[in-house]
Amino acid sequence: MNMRNLKIVILLIASFTHWAAGAGAACPEWPPERMSAEINTLKQQLDKWSVAYHQQGISLIADDVYDQLQEKLALWQSCHRLPDNYGNTLIPGNGTFRHPVAHTGLKKLKNEAALANWMVGRKSLWVQPKVDGVAVTLVYQDGKLIQLLSRGNGLKGQNWTDKAPFITAIPQYIATAPPWLTLQGELFLQMGDHLQASSGGVNARAAVAGALMRKSPAALLPQLGIFIWAWPDGPSSMVEKGELLQAMGFPLTAKYSKPIASSRDVAHFRHHWFHTALPFVTDGVVIRQAAEPAGRNWQAVPGYWAVAWKYPAQQQITEIKDIHFTIGRTGRVTVVLLVSPVKIDDKWIRRVNVGSVSRWRQWDITSGDQIIIALAGHGIPRLESVVWRVSQRQEFTPPAGDQFHQLSCFRLISPECEPQLLSRLIWLSGPKGLDIQSISSGYWRDLIHHGLINDLVGWLSLTRDQIAGVPGIGTARAENIYQQFQSTRQKPFSQWLQALGFAQGIVVNSPWRLLQQRSIAEWGLIPGIGPVRAKQITRFLHHPEVQAMADFLSHQNIAGFQHEE
């Protein structure tokens, strides 16, 4: 394949990827008045966060979450046919000192395909770690540092020159500097072997910003480092630029600038720096072309000669599409959010368990709200926060809390009982119950829906033909399920008790009729069983539905349940 065809293929891949990503993002079905109001409110909130970030160095919201909300705003604007001005709006600020050369910012690319598209036709490309700190301008005149300015709104910033003598990483005088030297870089908190993949951002940027904004010199200033990422009107060669910066006292640029020829090269360094100990916190990589326009042409908007590719988001924004209420085998009602699919650490998330009904009410969430989710231990999705609430609140009514409990729904006495009965059946066939290998929750549900099961133990009397009559099971599968059901007849009495819901962790050596004869006081004498648990056990053993199951199992000749002859 020649180079021209390769470029065409790369462009097609990137275009398809962009289309596929956009295809999953649908416009909200809102009337124009509501769409306009939501757009304006979200834009105002994003502007507040942006000002706090650029003027005060404070991240009121995580960068990746902010970026996702910007994308959400752009989508809504396109739905409303409004122009997307993201990256082209000047940030309001209170900086009064003008930068000799504007800070341009970086366009953030979503994936490697977008990067490959950007790289087409560009030469002499380099990759650097995207250091997570506070952006500044350094100005030297005749070798002497005369200004240290905050980024501000990109055109004007605050004067931090009085802090510079306390930052040992910034040379106060450079003998080899040209008569007029402007550098742009990142002040960062120097770290000892920081692993971004495991440690994250550790709030380093906020610490740097706080130290710089204090009126008196902070003790943290000597611990700051500087990474120079731009030398406007400097050497055109990145190698020469790095060597000269190193000679002037800025060694990190040369050390962490790597030439690249493909998006795969960038992906390699991105992965390497994410999992390698570094002296600073990072949040991605920056890809630059050596050729840059003259400094006088730089504007406070993302430039065309450099882009960022951030690390995989550790948390994602998603929209609540629906809310379901599930009932466990003990009657506990759990709230599950159905969300727009998002990917975190190569795992697609579509459902988020938020716990009890009271917990859900504390969150005050409904369909349409934008939430942040992350992965907790063992990759379990967790609701982190709510970043956006829709103005029109849909009401959801959970099941009545007093209707379901530890002794409810052993039978399908009403349609509302199906979720708890299904949960009981799943437990019964699971590893802590009878350990039935060939039946899943889906098969239990099918047997219930076809009227073959209406209680916790009736399946034991099903025939092969009855099971095979359920659509989707078939003769061979039905035979397997039937044999598994019949094999439970050989399970010990103690295992059957656990499957029915008897208290766990109690050694049982007596048959059913003797267990029922024990008083609450006698149960309470057994080690590990207190008065409360003794009452629960007694209620279970004497509950009419439980007794009915014991009678059925007795007629089925299950050991331990037989009546005394």
CA distance 478 to 414: 27
> What's the pLDDT at 438?
78
Radius of gyration of the chain (CA): 33
Is 89 a residue whose pLDDT tops 70?
A: no
pLDDT band for 18, please (50, 70, 90 cuts): very low
> What's the pLDDT at 235?
95
The larger pLDDT score, comparing residue 275 to residue 16, is at: 275
CA distance 300 to 79: 27
Among 20-29, 160-169, 517-526, the range with the most confident prediction by mean pLDDT is 160-169
Q: Where are the domains of the chain?
A: 3-79, 97-310, 315-402, 407-555
> What's the pLDDT at 421?
95
- Record the pTM: 0.67
* Both structure tokens of 266: 């960038």
Q: Are 265 and 110 in contact (CB under 8 A)?
A: no
Q: Is 463 exposed, middle or buried (0-12, 13-18, 19+ CB in 10 A)?
A: exposed
Just give the CATH number of 407-555.
1.10.150.20
- Residue 223: closest CA among 166, 276, 165: 166
CA distance 562 to 565: 8
Per 3-state DSSP, what percentage of the chain is helix, strand, and coil (rounded to 5)? 40, 20, 40
Residue 537 vs residues 330, 506, 563: alpha-carbon distances, Å: 14, 11, 20
For the chain, what's the residue count?
A: 565
CA distance 268 to 187: 26
Is 22 a residue whose pLDDT tops 60?
A: no
| CATH class for the region spanning 315-402 | mainly beta
pLDDT tens, 444-490? 999 999 999 999 999 999 999 999 999 988 899 999 999 999 999 99
Using a pLDDT cut of 90, give the percent of the chain over it. Answer: 65
The larger pLDDT score, comparing residue 532 to residue 379, is at: 532
> What's the pLDDT at 84?
52
Q: Are 314 and 283 in contact (CB under 8 A)?
A: no
pLDDT band for 210, please (50, 70, 90 cuts): confident
Q: For residue 388, give every residue at least 6 positions away whose Cβ sits within 8 Å of its Cβ, in sequence order, or none.
A: 42, 69, 369, 370
> What's the pLDDT at 83?
54
pLDDT tens, 159-192? 999 999 999 999 999 999 999 999 999 999 999 8
Q: For residue 229, give every residue at least 6 positions away whose Cβ sits within 8 Å of its Cβ, in sequence order, or none.
A: 128, 131, 184, 185, 186, 253, 286, 288
| Residue 436: Cβ within 10 Å count | 22
Is 258 a residue whose pLDDT tops 80?
A: yes
Q: For residue 261, give every residue at least 6 positions away whose Cβ sits within 8 Å of its Cβ, in sequence order, or none.
A: 125
- Residue 558: closest CA among 513, 492, 484, 504: 492
pLDDT tens, 121-159? 999 999 999 999 999 999 999 999 999 999 988 999 999
Q: What is the mean pLDDT of residues 36-62?
A: 79
> What's the pLDDT at 25?
59
Active-site amino acid positions: 130
Is 398 a residue whose pLDDT tops 70?
A: yes
Of 75-89, 286-300, 309-323, minimum mean pLDDT range: 75-89
pLDDT band for 68, please (50, 70, 90 cuts): confident
Q: Is 5 exposed, middle or buried (0-12, 13-18, 19+ CB in 10 A)?
A: exposed
Numbers of helices and strands, H then E, in the chain? 19, 16
Q: What is the mean pLDDT of residues 106-134?
A: 95
Average pLDDT value over all residues in the chain: 88
> What's the pLDDT at 389?
86
Any idea which architecture 3-79 has in CATH? Answer: Orthogonal Bundle (1.10)
- Residue 249: closest CA among 140, 150, 128: 140
Just give the CATH number of 97-310.
3.30.470.30
The values of phi and psi at residue 561, to 5°, are: -100, -10
Q: Are 221 and 163 in contact (CB under 8 A)?
A: yes
Angle between helices 418-429 and 441-449 (to 10 degrees): 130
Q: What is the dihedral of CA 270, 274, 279, 280, to 10 degrees?
A: 90
CA distance 227 to 187: 7
Q: Is 228 exposed, middle or buried (0-12, 13-18, 19+ CB in 10 A)?
A: buried
> What's the pLDDT at 10?
41
CA distance 373 to 342: 9
* Both structure tokens of 143: 């070798």
Using a pLDDT cut of 70, give the percent of the chain over it. Answer: 92
pLDDT band for 43, please (50, 70, 90 cuts): confident
Of 23-37, 311-325, 437-451, 521-535, minimum mean pLDDT range: 23-37
pLDDT tens, 185-203? 999 999 988 999 888 878 8
pLDDT band for 57, please (50, 70, 90 cuts): low
Q: Position of tokens 């540092």? A: 145
| Residue 361: Cβ within 10 Å count | 11
Burial call 283-295: b when 16+ CB within 10 Å, e when fewer: bbbbbbbbebeeb
> What's the pLDDT at 7?
43
